[in-house]
Structure 1
Amino acid sequence: MSSSEESESGKARGGHARAEALSPEQRREIARKAASARWNGEPELKATHGSEDHPLRIGDIEIPCYVLEDGRRVLQQTGLIRGLNMSHGGSYSMGGDRLAKFTSQGRLKSFVSNELVERTANPIKFRTPRGSLAYGYEATILADLCDAILAARREGVLQKQQAHIADRAEILVRGFARIGIIALVDEATGYQNERARDALAKILEAFIAKELQPWVKTFPSDFYDEMFRLRGLKYPNDSVQRPQYFGVLTNDIVYKRLAPGVLDELKRSSPKTASGRPKGKLFQMLTNNVGYPKLREHLGSVVAIMKLSDQWSDFMNKLDRLHPRYGETIPLPLEYQHDDGKGL
């Protein structure tokens, strides 16, 4: 080996050693400065296709997407972050701080390639067809991020507060796999030239919406806040545990008043564990087009009645007048005697 080669090898070894010694914060700052310098000297890219009015829809998430003049497909940064169910957090004026922080954290080091870290730290700066300045990432980065997140979850290194991100990543990966096989069949058969322009997007949207339903917060926090107040109980701010009998109360004030026989049918059709307990929430069995919207409407009314009531008996009297149980006659406005509202 020549002296110059030895020198280069020594420099390379020194560079690797320096990189290993840097903290995640130092690596992010170097990447940020590199991105700033690159943008200052790089010609501005323009998007030839795409519009804010026609985003990629994933359930109730919308990710603006574009095709740049060099042919790259990009997803707009804030939409991508929402798609992964991440909070923005902190400053992301350089167009990638949130994702850069996530991918460069130590616990993900074994699952995130150097290339992915660099790509998240250096989003693409471009102009939309309307002329607005935007930041984005090549569309394939979403699949790479999902793979890394799921690998980290399998090894048990994700933090508890990051579990919802992994749940979203799993849903996205399954959705993209389904759409991918459909697109391949369409291409092989020639059907891609006949299908509707947005057919694949609609299939993805329907699939993701169904998959996301178990994670949608259906019962508002006010419902339980008011239930604790009316029952004369202190709300446990340090725990999500609720008294077991709250389930019995919920069946009475919600499901028995939602539609005739709905509670019995939900209990009958709900998948059970080996011990006979329901595997999921009852509302997850409701139909998307009728049952679920009706439940949300009923809950809104119930919470309003709760807030207008001073105690449990007062609430139940109002509820029985406005939303009687199906199969029962509307009671006269007499004093409520069935439950004193104090614990069990």
Structure 2
Amino acid sequence: MTKDSGTIYSHYRAPIAQLGDGVEAYVLDEVGGEKQEKPRCVLSKRGCASALGLKSEGGSAFIRTLTRKGVGSAIGENLRHKLENPIIFKYIDPGSDTSVHGYETSTFVEVLQALLIARRTGNLAPSQEFLAQNAEMLLVALANTTLDTIVYQETGYWSVVEGQRISEILDKYLVDQARKWAKTFPDEFWFKLIKVKGYPSYLALKRPAFVGHWVNDIIYDRLVPGIRQRLNDLNPRTETGRRKKMHHQFTSEHHGLPELKEHLIKVMAYMDVSSNDKQFMRMLNRALPKFNTTYEMPLDED
């Protein structure tokens, strides 16, 4: 299929149960053949209508309802402009594409908030009260997360790009032997790590460098007494700030890697039984404390 320049495309679609039956969301991951670094999340017009209980009239009911007397009093000029100009994009199915009209998730949340304002100011007609009730229930359902987070997860977008994101982080923020060994970690370690640290995905990290600190903290500083210091002593930085060799040149399959794999199994077990990062770190510090003593680690030096 030939893609038009400037046309918006989505390859990810899923129903969003938190918003009700028949509510579908999309991730707009491509524009004119270019993959988007931060794709927008949208709901179809029909999905927006369904979420508010306007199922019988479909998507066309959404804009009509929000511009009627009463509800329309809480719709500001900026929001009205967004509603009158829906995003038009193509959802790509294998071998075909379907044109869809929709609104960004942030626009939909603005609508929910506007409905509550209209009720609070007494501008809703009795026949419109159900809209505010539904809006309130939806906002409560979204209280502990963001709608974008839900859309990224439910559509499978995050799971598709997660591996690539993790690889980029490792290459950029881990150095020397840490990068080499970290790439041998099982995939489940990375998913458990981001979950226990309280993030929905590595894509949500505003400071990816945290990953390097986490790996040093929970892995290398606890693996063998003095491992980081020992590696620095064996392979010091020169006056230019660089090292003559990579740290992993001082490790081998027989010295270091077996201990690492055993340590990872223990760490992941504590991740599984921890409900949050604070509990995880408390258990880790008790069972696998950091080493502060100098230790001559038996590494290969040739």
* TM bucket, shorter chain: 0.3 to 0.5
Structure number with higher strand proportion = 2
If the length of structure 2 is used for normalisation, what is the TM-score? Answer: 0.42
